């Protein structure tokens, strides 16, 4: 089954991705694996090159590597993923230039009044009383007309929009791989998650740590399906694994991939939406995060492949995705006084 499915998928991918791909050599791949596995529980490395080459054996091995990574870590480092390294580097360079502008200049790119975007598109920074210390520019699919772009630096809009398109294409590939990992009918996830209008991307700058505190982004799990992160060389992203915080070390040209709560619920906890955070460093940190997500009107529940068909009880009750997103947003807008009252996906646990 896997050979026939991913032989077709590899042909589909070759037509989907265009442009320069950052190619990692065999020796580099071995070095990356050694780097990420040097510490106990560190991030697995998955080489996606077989999907572009039509290598049946390589596709099967890469799919199994994704399955294992999602079971044990919920995170992995993707290499040879189809997003040009030069494009990611340019995006980081331009975002750093933008964030270095005076506050009054950045404020010109704040979200438009009365926008119908699902989230405010444009520039913002965390409130002064927030535990998270960062500023960001949020964008949706350019075709939707929600985005507010800065006038400077030149080229910012074009590069960001190209990144958005490439990461969305990568999301479609990873979704197909997850479909094989989860074993529902062929194309199930593609049909279930066909509306791409809720995908969004964020360019972020984290402020330098102080002597008093270093929190950049509080520990959390992602509520969506799949998240991609590419970052500068500062570091700070950490993943919780077996009670220890594992750093997602910066590696030029690679992309950090993690699955979110939707996939964890659908897999009935077989695949893991991992807790992660960003710890600030003595200097500014720049990164991009792309959120591949589903429409709010989708009903989310464990799939039969992980419950009735294998004789296991569902671990979650079904829910409307928009309801869960509203609860997560309330965590931000009206933070509970007690940490145990923060809404997580366990809210729907049985």
**Which of 67, 51, 61 lies closest to 7 in space, CA to CA?**
51
Calculate the alpha carbon distances from 47 to 17, 230, 337 in Å: 16, 16, 44
**Which of 227, 245, 248 lies closest to 237 in space, CA to CA?**
248
**Residues annotated as catalytic (active site), given as ranges:** 285
Q: Which two tokens stand for residue 47?
A: 């080489």
d(CA 259, CA 276): 11
Packing angle, helices 2-16 and 56-72, rounded to 10: 100
Residues facing residue 279 across a β-bridge: 215
> Using an 8 Å Cβ cutoff, are 73 and 256 in contact?
no
What pairing do the DSSP bridges indicate for beta strands 237-241 and 244-247?
A: antiparallel
Calculate the alpha carbon distances from 170 to 10, 18, 257, 279, 308 in Å: 13, 12, 10, 27, 31
> Using an 8 Å Cβ cutoff, are 200 and 325 in contact?
no
- φ/ψ region of 294 (left if φ > 0, alpha if ψ in -120 to 50, else beta) reads beta
The tally of CA atoms less than 13 A away on the side-chain side of residue 14 is 11
Q: How many helices (H) and strands (E) does the chain have?
A: 10, 14
Furthest C-alpha separation in the chain: 60
Q: How many CB atoms lie within 10 A of CB 332?
A: 11
**Which of 173, 176, 198, 197 lies closest to 185 in space, CA to CA?**
176
Place of tokens 């992602």: 222
């Amino acid at each position: 089954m896997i050979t026939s499915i991913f032989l077709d998928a590899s042909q589909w991918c070759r037509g989907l991705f265009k442009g320069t791909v950052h190619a990692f050599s065999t020796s580099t791949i071995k070095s990356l694996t050694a780097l990420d596995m040097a510490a106990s529980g560190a991030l697995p490395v998955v080489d996606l090159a077989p999907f572009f080459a039509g290598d049946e054996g390589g596709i099967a091995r890469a799919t199994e590597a994704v399955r294992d990574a999602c079971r044990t870590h919920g995170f992995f480092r993707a290499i040879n993923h189809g997003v040009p390294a030069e494009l990611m580097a340019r995006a980081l360079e331009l975002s750093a230039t933008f964030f270095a502008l005076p506050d009054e200049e950045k404020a010109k790119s704040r979200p438009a009044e009365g926008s119908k975007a699902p989230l405010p598109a444009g520039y913002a920074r965390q409130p002064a009383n927030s535990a998270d210390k960062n500023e960001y520019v949020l964008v949706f699919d350019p075709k939707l007309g929600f985005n507010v772009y800065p006038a400077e630096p030149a080229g910012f809009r074009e590069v960001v929009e190209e990144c958005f398109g490439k990461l969305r294409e990568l999301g479609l590939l990873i979704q197909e791989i997850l479909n094989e990992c989860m074993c529902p009918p062929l194309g199930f996830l593609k049909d279930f998650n066909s509306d791409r209008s809720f995908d969004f991307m964020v360019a972020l700058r984290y402020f330098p740590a102080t002597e008093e505190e270093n929190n950049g982004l509080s520990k959390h799990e992602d509520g969506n399906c799949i998240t991609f992160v590419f970052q500068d060389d500062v570091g700070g992203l950490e993943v919780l694994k077996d009670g220890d915080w594992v750093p997602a070390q910066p590696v030029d040209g690679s992309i950090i991939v993690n699955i979110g709560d939707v996939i964890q619920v659908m897999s009935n906890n077989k695949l893991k939406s991992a807790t992660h955070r960003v710890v600030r460093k003595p200097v500014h940190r720049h990164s991009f995060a792309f959120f591949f997500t589903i429409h709010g009107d989708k009903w989310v529940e464990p799939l039969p492949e992980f419950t009735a068909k294998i004789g296991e009880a569902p671990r979650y009750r079904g829910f409307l995705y928009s309801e869960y997103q509203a609860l997560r947003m309330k965590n931000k807008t009206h933070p509970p006084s007690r940490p145990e009252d923060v809404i997580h996906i366990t809210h729907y646990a049985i």
